Amino acid sequence: MITIDELRRKYIEFFKARGHAEISGKSLIPENDPTVLFTTAGMHPLVPYLLGEPHPAGKRLTDYQKCIRTGDIDMVGDTSHLTFFEMLGNWSLGDYFKNEAIHWSYEFLTSPDYLGIDPVKLSVTVFAGDESVPRDDESAYLWKKVGIPEERIFFLPREDNWWGPAGETGPCGPDTEMFVDTGAPACGPDCKPGCHCGKYFEIWNDVFMQYNKKADGSYELLARPCVDTGMGIERTVAMLQGKKSVYEIEAFTPILKVLESITGKTYGVSSSDAEIDRSFRIIADHIRAAAFILGDPKAVLPSNIGAGYVLRRLIRRAVRHGKKLGIEGLFLSRPAQAVIDIYKEPYPELLENAGRIFEELEREEKKFLETLQKGEHEFEKILPNLLKNPDKTMPGRLAFKLYDTYGFPIELTEELAAEHELKVDKQGFEESFKKHQEISRAGSEQVFKGGLADNSEIVTRYHSATHLLHKALRLVLGNHVAQKGSNITAERLRFDFSHPAPMTPEQIAAVERIVNEQIARDLPVTMEMMPPEEAKAAGAIALFGEKYEPIVKVYTMGDFSKEVCGGPHVSHTGEIGKFKIIKEQSSSAGVRRIYAVLE
């Protein structure tokens, strides 16, 4: 029976034996990408290279990557949804294409030395074509060539088998997806891969970036086509182990056992209460995701904005379901320890940052328990008016206000209302909640379909300016300054850095002056490739606690700045434009944030 560790090892070994360099997975916190709060797919950190930038490790790459997806947090609690998951991937950056990718996919899936799946159980889908791009007959032909019969090759439309560009234009192409027949009965005569009835399980996806979408909406063939693939570890292992749920694999069972010991309740087969099982799954998923976010080298901390807000929501939802299971007081550090024990070898940063994980979980738990007390107090204040209502119903907007303002869960509001023989207008609450979600989604996290939202000239100038800003901050404030994150759009740059106090107006002016002086000098920007140790010895600024490839890119700006980086850069600092700081503020404890524009 294959385990998550074995799948990870087998996959990497398979592709290393076929000329791929193993690269390190990247941080959960993406750099210079305003489209997402977290790394959402294995290919996310590689987008600049899929767009044409040479990778230091070469043209054939493979890795495993930690990912967070937050669009379905409210769905977590069923048997399949996860917030945190791992992706396996292999890439060709203008090297091999469909023939090798399909051949190797089939070999890895069916060979007894690897996954050993019966070929009879495999079906595949390919792009059916439309008025813009022809049908992917080449992939269909190659699948037949390796042994998939025609009746198990399905042509599906763009919404199923097409990978779009990162923005409105750019590299894109058809994909081919591999499915395993689970043996479940077909849902009808039209049942086929892509159907959600449970008969077909998607195990792998090969994306063929062979087109460039132009501004006029037309497509042209790329001179340098690429391959991008992805396989989810947890779902694949659950399927290979014959489990009905991802929560039955060894990535979760130790966490669930800890929760059983804390609650005295039983999860799974012997549990007679579906709601108890749901709370177990929510806590296990959310504490795993929270531990990885807090254990990341670029960790964000719980807050009311952006990624910090997502982290806070995960922790508080876990605490709430702990209360539903009857847990009193602080408990999250115990299942978090189980997460660290499970993953400390493939992700040693969890063990290295265990102190921060436990400290922040405990702090947030305490804060939320206080919040719950405030919510109960607020409920008591509005109770007399509610009791005067002849309908004996609490308006949904009031229930949502408790939720939105005090973080008070609707379930607890309903429990308190029921104690006073009151109902809650759940539909009104849901309508208020839906409006809030739409606003939040529009403002915080867009659906990810690629990497850097924009590789334009202006974004390149802003990105280059962050190098000058980073060095200027270190000159003015001291060498304790380290980059803690950045977010760049075509309108401004945002730069987070470690510093214990607000900057004075004089310090802000000095930083701005230094940056503009280096721009006026029109310094040449050069790039060298070298090992991380050599880069460090040469004085390059980098997050040396993070995993780096054996060879990294070091960008030097004249005699002023030297930094390890993979983003786009100008060729001379004079191209950047006039730099102006428009705001300096707190980001989180010990971290300051600067907003700046180019004029």
Stated as kind and residue range, the H or E segment containing 233 is helix 233-240
pLDDT greater than 90 at residue 594: yes
Query: If you search the block for the tokens 């002023």, which residue do you land on?
Result: 560
Tell whether 217 and 286 lie within a shared domain.
Answer: no
The CATH number of residue 488's host domain is 3.30.980.10
pLDDT at residue 34 in the model: 61
Do both 429 and 489 map to the same domain?
no
**Which residues, other chains included, contact 139 with Cβ-Cβ below 8 Å and sequence gap of 6+?**
98, 102, 126, 127, 174, 176, 208
**Mean pLDDT over the full length of the chain:** 89
Co-location of 360 and 309 in the same domain: yes
Separation of first and last alpha carbons in the chain: 60
User: What letter represents residue 324's amino acid?
Assistant: K
Task: Provide the pLDDT for residue 557.
Answer: 96
Containing domain of residue 506, as a range?
457-598
Whole-angstrom distance, CA of residue 45 vs CA of residue 16: 20
412 shares its domain with 509: no
Same domain, 440 and 489: no
Determine, yes or no, domain membership for 246: no
Under the banding of pLDDT at 50, 70 and 90, the label for residue 395 is very high
Same domain, 280 and 334: yes
Mind listing the pLDDT tens digit for each residue in 445-476? Answer: 333 332 234 567 888 899 899 999 999 999 99
Q: Do 409 and 310 reside in the same domain of the chain? A: no
Across the range 506-512, mean pLDDT stands at 96
Same domain, 438 and 359: no
- HEC letters along 22-83: ECCCCCCCCCCCCCCCCCCCCCHHHHHHHCCCCCCCCCEEEEEEEEECCCCHHHECECCCCC
| Model confidence band, residue 167 (pLDDT cutoffs 50, 70, 90) | low
The DSSP 8-state label assigned to residue 541 in this structure reads: B
Residues 277, 223 within the same domain: no
Q: What pLDDT sits at residue 149?
A: 97
**Selected residue with higher pLDDT from 544 and 390:** 390
Closest CA relative to residue 495, chosen from 584, 561, 426: 584
**Model pTM score:** 0.73
Which phi and psi (to 5°) does residue 220 adopt?
Answer: -125, 150
Secondary element (H or E) of residue 286: helix 274-295
What percentage of the chain carries pLDDT values higher than 70? 94
| Residue 21 one-letter amino acid | A
Please state which of the ranges 161-175, 439-453, 549-563, 567-581 shows the lowest mean pLDDT. 439-453
* Residue 22, domain member (yes or no): yes
Per the CB < 8 A criterion, the answer to whether 5 and 80 are in contact is no
Domain-ending residue, one of 194, 215, 240: 240
Check: CB of residue 28 under 8 Å from CB of residue 66.
yes
Integer Cα distance of 385 and 394 in angstroms: 10
Lowest mean pLDDT among 200-209, 486-495, 553-562: 486-495
**308-311: long-range contacts, CB 8 A cutoff, minimum separation 24:** 308/588, 309/444, 310/37, 310/38, 310/68, 310/70, 310/73
pLDDT of residue 166: 62
Domain end marker among 212, 240, 268: 240
Query: Helix, strand, or coil here: 229?
Result: strand
Q: What is the token pair recorded at 167? A: 């923005």
What is the spatial distance between Cα 251 and Cα 428, in angstroms, rounded to a whole number? 39
Which residue shows structure tokens 């069923």? 78
Reported as a pLDDT band with limits 50, 70 and 90, residue 439 is: low
